Amino acid sequence: MTRPLRLTSLAVVSLCALLAGAPSALAQAAAPPSKAAPAKAAVSDVVKAARPKGGEYFGLYLMDKKVGWLFTDLELLPGEPARAKATNQLVFKAMVGTRVSERVHREERVYEAKPGGQLLSFTVTQQGDGGDQTLVGTATPEGVRVVRKRPGRPDETLKTLPPAKERVEDADPARLALLRKAKVGGFTLDGLDLETYGIVTTVEPPEQRVVNGVKVKLGKASTLSEKEKVPVTAYVTQRGEMVLVDFGTTMQARKETEAVARRLDLVEVFGLTRIVLPRALPEAARAVPGRVTLVVQGLPEKFRVQTYRQQFKALPDGRVEVTLSAAAPKTRQPRPLVDPDGGENLKSTLVVESDAPAIVELSKKVIGEEKDAYAAAQKVNAWVFKNLEKDYGASADRATDVLNQKRGDCTEHSLLAVAMLRSAGIPARRVDGVLYMMNADGVPALYWHEWVEAFVGEWTQLDPTFNQPVADATHFAFGEEGNAEITPLIGALKVTDVK
């Protein structure tokens, strides 16, 4: 029930949103305006820059293994007033055990093409692993009106978003920075959660690289989102052709022809992304209370945050000693509770949907009159474990979809549990990290996993996938769901000792 594919595919979707326009066409000098634009029209320099006609394709590589492809384009639309359309498509496909899992994410955004032109509309289409849905956004005087379409369900008009901060220049911030030879800032409306995040793009010194057997000088620009906190670095030729995009240190997009890009090797990501241990963890790690100590290499300092479950000690050789512990909460309060983080962990979102009538009704039915927050959380944890079929091939990215299908892997178990907890007035969030397992091959390893953290008077962790009312000490947390910040750890993190 671990989740390497879901983690990486969601991360790539989110990171690719930073390249929402045409990372394939970054240029250091502007080209003449497109013939489709009347000479009298003022057009943003981000639209005028030279780019390969018809967009470009990229092979997507995880730890040097091909797991998908990307297509990007930015075009000036005919007619007046001048408008520009950015297209960004991701296909992620890999083996998970004996199953093929595939995720398709496509975004089309239309802007005013003039300098500072606003976002006029967008369409986000998701298919395959995670479920099918289309989000259609239209700018109105009051803000951005969003309609969600899902197969077999009536269209839903979601709440109107604030007026979009995203501008046409934000369609391709890396190219814009190279074009202007200066740092640029802007905003992006995230296609997964419909929240707006600030982005900053910095021009870096050019690099010499060998491209098709020839050494060339490449422009370089890195974009950082306040959501992801993972640099997306683009490398481009003097003619404006993209040759490479680095998504942190783990994933890479390489320019390829359409035929080559679409040709995929079915990589088995379970074994590819696991962290092999030098020996099995002691049984004491599975007890509650329990603890275990790992010696870890390749863990950046920003992940070494001391918590009630994880303690870090830097060693002289650059490695880190991590002590993981688990114990039942000592402080228990009645629900509803105030979120100590200001309300984010009680919010109903496009994914969590804790205010959906079906989620509210289920939460009340399962919890009943129980007021003690931890006892209520245990009821939710047990219900989700008992009533969701364990099935990796039945992924769903939204709580109501999980409830409808009643099956899935750790992401579905955690998502539904968090939605039910929030509905009951218990602050909760999903936790991303790794979990100790020994599969059929007998190799002790840590596998990517997701579980739940709830505030019941103090924070505590539960695992509905394995019916653990206290997530045991074999759980090593790195971050929260939807944040690509942890993806560079894949392939870089090593455990050198177990104590």
How many CA atoms lie less than 13 Å away from 21 in the CB half-sphere? 31
For 438-451, what is the mean pLDDT?
A: 91
Predicted confidence at residue 2, as pLDDT, reads: 53
Burial of 360 (0-12, 13-18, 19+ CB in 10 A): middle
Quick one: how far is CA 352 from the chain centroid?
15
For the CA atoms of 327, 333, 337, 340, what is the dihedral angle to 10 degrees?
Answer: -50
**Residue range 417-423: mean pLDDT, rounded:** 98
Nearest to 44 by CA among 111, 121, 122: 111
Out of 98-102, 155-159, 243-247, 430-434, pick the least confident: 98-102
Structure tokens at 308: 């009630």
Residue labelled with tokens 């995929």: 264
What does the alpha-carbon distance between residue 411 and residue 99 come to, in Å, rounded to a whole number? 17
Question: In this model, does residue 428 exceed pLDDT 50?
Answer: yes
Tokens of 237: 């030729």
pLDDT greater than 60 at residue 7: no
- Count of beta carbons in the 10 Å neighbourhood of residue 441: 7
Could you give the 3-state DSSP secondary structure of residue 266? coil
> How far does CA 482 lie from the centroid of its chain?
4
Mean pLDDT of 241-248: 91
> Other CB atoms closer than 10 Å to residue 15's CB: what's the count?
24
Residue 347: the pLDDT is 96
Span 388-402, mean pLDDT?
83
Whole-number average pLDDT of the chain: 89
**9-18, 97-106, 349-358: range with highest mean pLDDT:** 349-358
272: confidence class by pLDDT, cuts 50, 70, 90: confident
Please give the pLDDT value at position 61.
94
pLDDT band at 485 (very low <50, low <70, confident <90, very high): confident
Supply the pLDDT for residue 11: 58
pLDDT of residue 439: 84
**Each residue's pLDDT tens digit, 9-63:** 555 555 555 554 333 333 333 333 444 444 456 999 999 888 889 999 999 999 9
Helix ranges, 42-200 (H): 45-48, 173-180
DSSP label of 404: H
Residue 40: predicted pLDDT: 53
Predicted local confidence at residue 33, as pLDDT: 41
Where are the strands (E) in 38-164, listed by range?
56-62, 65-77, 83-96, 99-112, 119-128, 133-140, 143-149, 156-157
